[in-house]
Structure 1
Amino acid sequence: QTTSGKQYSFTVRQQPVHARMCGFGEKDRRPIDPPPILECVCLNYPSEQADQGSQPRPTRVKDPYLSVHVMLLDETGREECGLILSSSSRKQSERHGQPSSPEAGRTSPPAHRTASTQKVTRVLMGSLVTNSIQLEDDQGVEGSFFIFPDLSVRTEGRYTLKFTLFSLEGLSLAAASGTRANCIAEAVSEPFTVYTAKKFPGMLRSTELTKAFARQGYKVQVRND
């Protein structure tokens, strides 16, 4: 529920199935397939006595303040897996501090030496926050959707995605007072598998929902085979 008193239903319309791990390079991104899609609808009750058995009437959301954040969890949906310690190796060879004479070379360290360092790295890559977009689904029904077309995972395993719907309504005042954005609802995806390159079975044919969004101009990759 937001500060304006609105109530929302927040669901995963398109579940992730699998992905090929993208490793620790910055350029080799392998998107989760199919792209996760969420939908938000506003629940309007016919009377103020919403807790006395009256059924809500869902309506399309037109709220510019709504955004969704995604984070990576384990297969059970209980433990966060968003960060990992990665080792980076740096080879020190003759081109790094090459000796100026044979005599200097004899007293220098071995020509090939590896220095390892560890750093904390994000496991889930891509755009982790997205805003709502008004589109028609594959049945022609207009709705408010949140799409994550470029998420990728660095390491193999079984995971889930946790999506948090929050409102930026009044955020400037909240920031001034030191409070956070208003969290409205959460949703967790079904488990999906991230494979190594050798085990990955290949990308799936695009769903009808993905194709419907692409036809309306949303930038998402479509596969027909």
Structure 2
Amino acid sequence: MLRPKYEFCDSSEYQASPDDMGGMPPNLPVIPTYVQHTQQGQLHKYVLEMAQHPIRARMCGFGEKDRRPLDPPPVVRLRVRDENGNFIQSEDVDIWKFVVSATLWAPYSNHDRSIVINPNTLPGSVPMYQSSSSVMSLNEPVKVRNLVGTTVSNAYLLKDENDDLNIFFIFHDLSVRTEGRFRLKFQFTVIPSEEDPRAIVEAETWSNVFEVYSAKTFPGMTDSTELSKAFATQGIKITIRKNSRGRPYHYRGGDIHEDDGEQDDDYIGDPGVGSSTSGVR
């Protein structure tokens, strides 16, 4: 009987190392409640929805240098209701304590795919020319993050492609180690305070199913979306492509610069950049 190509683990089994960027966000139950807003003294309820779904990616494997971001970058929008059920204008919401976390899941079931066993560390046989008998490895298989990159995003107050102001969470630094079909789960929470020390998931949403390809089968990156372009012009560090097979273009300070490096045509994004800044007003 053939061994499955990859063995996945629940994220609760994973212990992050000190240099593991972002750690692993917890999978918490959703408890949608009205939350007291400390400054205005109002009750708020949150609605999380996808603004941009990932479509595909090239797997990044089990090394640490070859990062291939999801394309297009996943983007989540947050809308806030008052106690009467009416939507509040985004610019009137204090967003500095808002965060959204991302986890990786199987396409059509509630099976966590955020953690995978590195296949290079699975017990195996020593080649026959080295020994006349099989010797099993005594080391424990190593569990690593399958969803690589910054898995938590702070809130940004930005205009979309229609010039409408909204609260967004941008995940332009996510990669997947293994090939296959997946979807992302996004969970929203308000950072606990001294007045309310509880960490509660207030809302969640799911991405569409997307495909992660091997290097040989990857069809290439898609054209940059109008939403990504709108974010780039507002100072968000995100890579913009002129066309699906051309060189990537980067926005720096509002100007477009062509990437003159010897980068793979299918690779865009900046793996060293995370979504660690707070809302841009």
Given that 2:79 and 2:87 are in contact with CA atoms closer than 8 Å, whether structure 1 keeps it comes out as no
Of 19, 22, 35 in structure 1, the residue corresponding to residue 60 of structure 2 is: 22
Distance in 2 of aligned mates of 1:200 and 1:81: 21
Counterparts in 2 of 1:36-47, with a 5 A limit?
36-44=74-82
Amino acid at match of 2:94: K
Could you tell me which runs of 5 or more consecutive residues in structure 2 were left unpaired when the two chains were aligned. Answer: 1-32, 37-42, 122-129, 244-281
Given that 1:164 and 1:187 are in contact with CA atoms closer than 8 Å, whether structure 2 keeps it comes out as yes
Could you give the per-residue CA deviations for residues 65-99 of structure 1, whole angstroms, max 9, x where no partner exists?
Answer: 1100000000015111111111436xxxxxxxxxx
Could you tell me which runs of 5 or more consecutive residues in structure 1 were left unpaired when the two chains were aligned. Answer: 90-108, 175-179
State yes or no: 1:146 paired with 2:169. Answer: yes
Q: CA deviation at 1:158?
A: 0.4
Could you give the per-residue CA deviations for residues 5-28 of structure 1, whole angstroms, max 9, x where no partner exists?
Answer: 311121110001000000000010
Q: CA deviation at 1:64?
A: 1.2
For normalisation by structure 2, the TM-score amounts to: 0.63
Of 206, 213, 236 in structure 2, the residue corresponding to residue 188 of structure 1 is: 206
Q: CA deviation at 1:172?
A: 8.1
Of 114, 128, 148 in structure 2, the residue corresponding to residue 125 of structure 1 is: 148
Distance in 2 of aligned mates of 1:121 and 1:64: 31
Bigger relative contact order, structure 1 or 2, given CA contacts below 8 A and separation 6+?
1
State yes or no: 1:161 paired with 2:199. Answer: no
Q: 1:56 to 1:218 in 2, by over 3 A?
A: same
Distance in 2 of aligned mates of 1:135 and 1:77: 33
- Alignment correspondent of 2:23: none
Distance in 2 of aligned mates of 1:171 and 1:126: 30
Distance in 2 of aligned mates of 1:151 and 1:74: 16
Counterparts in 2 of 1:53-202, with a 5 A limit?
56-60=86-90, 61-88=93-120, 117=139, 118-170=141-193, 174=197, 180-202=198-220
Q: 1:194 to 1:165 in 2, by over 3 A?
A: same
Of 181, 185, 205 in structure 1, the residue corresponding to residue 223 of structure 2 is: 205
Q: Comparing both structures, which one devotes a greater share of its residues to strand?
A: 1
RMSD between superposed Cα atoms in Å: 2.2
Given that 1:137 and 1:213 are in contact with CA atoms closer than 8 Å, whether structure 2 keeps it comes out as yes
SS in 2 for 1:88: helix
Could you give the per-residue CA deviations for residues 86-143 of structure 1, whole angstroms, max 9, x where no partner exists?
Answer: 1436xxxxxxxxxxxxxxxxxxx88xxx985521111000001110011110111111
Distance in 2 of aligned mates of 1:123 and 1:57: 36
Distance in 1 of aligned mates of 2:66 and 2:194: 36
The structure with the largest alpha-carbon Rg is 1
For normalisation by structure 1, the TM-score amounts to: 0.78
SS in 2 for 1:210: helix
Q: 1:217 to 1:193 in 2, by over 3 A?
A: same
Q: 1:132 to 1:29 in 2, by over 3 A?
A: same
Q: 1:211 to 1:171 in 2, by over 3 A?
A: farther
SS in 1 for 2:229: helix
Distance in 2 of aligned mates of 1:62 and 1:77: 35
